[in-house]
A and B are shown apart, each in its own frame.
Chain A
Amino acid sequence: MHHVKMKIAGIAHELITFFYSVGGTDFDIKIREDAEQHAIFFRSNYDEEHFPRVEQLIRYLNQGRRPALEESYWGLAGGGDLQDESEMLLIGAMIDHADIKIADGYVTFYLYRNRG
């Protein structure tokens, strides 16, 4: 139950570095928490040539939460290489649900992470 806020910060950090690596230049981020969950809103543009990587990220974010992996490897979130997909897989293991929209060269994420 500890380090929850560090994990949230790690997810945000990871998204920013990922979108830097795919040509992002315009980011919006908002984090909100209530009694049940943390919600992360993230919006960024990207370079069209990197769209396959964005698609891959979307696939990884929809894998579903995996608490055992999260607890073992969350320390890697936010500190790695910009090009590395393995950390995107880690972020996917740290969130319960993702709503993702793509429009006009921008990706918008609503990521939800339940408490507990």
Chain B
Amino acid sequence: MTIIENLKETLRMKPFIFAKQLLWVICASLFVFAFLSDSPMDILKGMITIVRHPAGLIADNFAVAGVGATFFNAGAVMAIALLLFELLKVRITGPGIACVLLCAGFSMFGKDIVNIWPIIGGVFLYAKRQEDRFDKYIYNALYGTALAPLITEIYLIRCDWITLIGAIFTGLLIGFIIPPLSTYCLRVHQGYSLYNVGFSAGLIGTLVVAILRSFGYMPESQLVWSYETHWLVIGYLLLLFAVLFLLGWYFNDWKLEPMLRIHRHSGRLMSDFVLMDGLPPVMMNMGVLGIASVLFILLTGGEINGATIGGLFTIVGFGAFGKHLKNVLPIIIGVYLGSVLKVWNIHDPSVQLAALFGTCLAPIAGQYGWKYGIVAGFLHSSMVLSIGAFHGGLNLYNNGFSAGMVALILIPLIESIKGDTTTYASR
């Protein structure tokens, strides 16, 4: 058996082995790109700046610390996530790919190698309190780091031992609350928002910020945004996504049809595309989503910077766990239409992020059709731009918070309007 045949066999029988290797390669590429962009000393200085800078929405690390440090931080957090999967012996398929790439993406604007730990520790304590194994809660631990900026924010109030202890305690408390609350929130939106923890983190963030405000501290959202065109970064992204697509296409024997079969899924949680259709079609799907999203940002006059790369990595990651071009496009069209009719432009920073991250509502388009997807995207763009005030921008998954709200309102409405006389059960 040749090496290629061996690889194909591994891909078919044990996709989780290849998926893990693939993610390690992407992680390594982030480090390589970091050192191609900046000197080691600049990266070190940039990393110190990232850790000490307020991390709430929107702090684009390109503008905060430079391209090299941004990529290094993303690579480091991605490596931490992958090591946790390794140590806890959790198999990586669609949900794992989505989770790890989301962590990498959000490390371009908010998560860093320091502020994620208290929340992970809190989830660990929750597992111990339940007399349970920590590996069962790995997704809650990693997704829960949505509120990592809160840790930085509390420490930065006075930058002393008291605020350090307060920050760690708050992180542990948040981690302790995330698992049960996230399970509960799932029932509210029925899996139609892919960033479920964003919804629960939004609720927790709202409560914590309300408490902080009642003691006189007013966390403010910020806008630190790089408006430069980084052609080298654009080249890296297009190359990465093209390689993903081509590799998947090759392992599919140069057939497109397996990738198109993914389009038949609604994408609702938990649609593990790797288990449903195999890894090669999923790699193609991820590549196509990545290239399409880069083109969307460029064609609408947006910027490719830390924050938007966060959106791109998240879309690409969820290309293994719920998103495909057919269910994502209606959402983006909805956000775009909103920008035409409403008071903002599609190339405004928050609207660019709404278009990218709003695709967590893709299952609505996948389940009920493109028209409802457009409505969801249209509503989401309004909701997300006003809901951030509740948590002072400290929940990184602000779009997940908004999407949970939109799904909560929209799903019962759609079901009552649409009705259903086609299934056996409804007769």
Enumerate chain A interface residues (CB-CB to B < 8 A). Answer: 1-2, 17, 20-24, 47, 60, 63, 66-76, 79-86, 89-90, 93
Contacts and interface: CB of A to CB of B under 8 A. Distances in A.
B182 interface: yes
B91 interface: yes
Contact of B276 (A66, A89, A90): A89
Contacts, number: 92
Contacts of A73: 186, 191, 269-270
26 contacts: A1-B132, A17-B425, A20-B424, A21-B424, A23-B424, A67-B133, A67-B135, A68-B137, A69-B270, A71-B137, A71-B140, A72-B95, A72-B137, A72-B139, A73-B269, A75-B187, A76-B190, A76-B191, A81-B367, A82-B425, A84-B266, A84-B268, A85-B271, A86-B191, A86-B266, A89-B276
Nearest to A2: B130
A82 B190 contact: no
Given A69-B139, A75-B184, 19 more contacts: A1-B131, A1-B132, A21-B424, A66-B91, A67-B136, A68-B135, A68-B137, A68-B139, A69-B272, A71-B139, A73-B186, A73-B191, A73-B270, A74-B183, A76-B190, A79-B187, A80-B191, A85-B271, A86-B266
Contact of B136 (A21, A22, A71, A89): A71
A20 B424 CA distance: 6
Sorted from nearest, which 3 A-B pairs have the closest CB atoms?
A: A20-B425, A75-B186, A71-B136
A76 B186 contact: yes
- Measured as residues with beta carbon below 8 angstroms from the partner, the interface class of chain B is 35 or more
Nearest to B134: A68
Most buried by B among A68, A71, A84, A90: A68
A100 B253 CA distance: 33
A47 B90 CA distance: 38
Contacts of A79: 187, 190
B144 to A, nearest CB: 11
Interface centre among A60, A73, A79, A82 (most CB of B within 10 A): A73
Contacts of B184: 75
B138 interface: yes
Residue in B95, B136, B182, B424 whose Cβ sees the most chain A Cβ within 10 Å = B424
A69 B265 CA distance: 19
A21 B423 contact: yes
Contacts of B367: 81, 84
Interface in B55-72: none
Contacts of A21: 423-425
Nearest to A93: B270
A89 B187 contact: no
Contacts of B136: 67-68, 70-71
A81 B130 CA distance: 31
B219 interface: no
A73 B270 CA distance: 7
Contacts of B135: 67-68
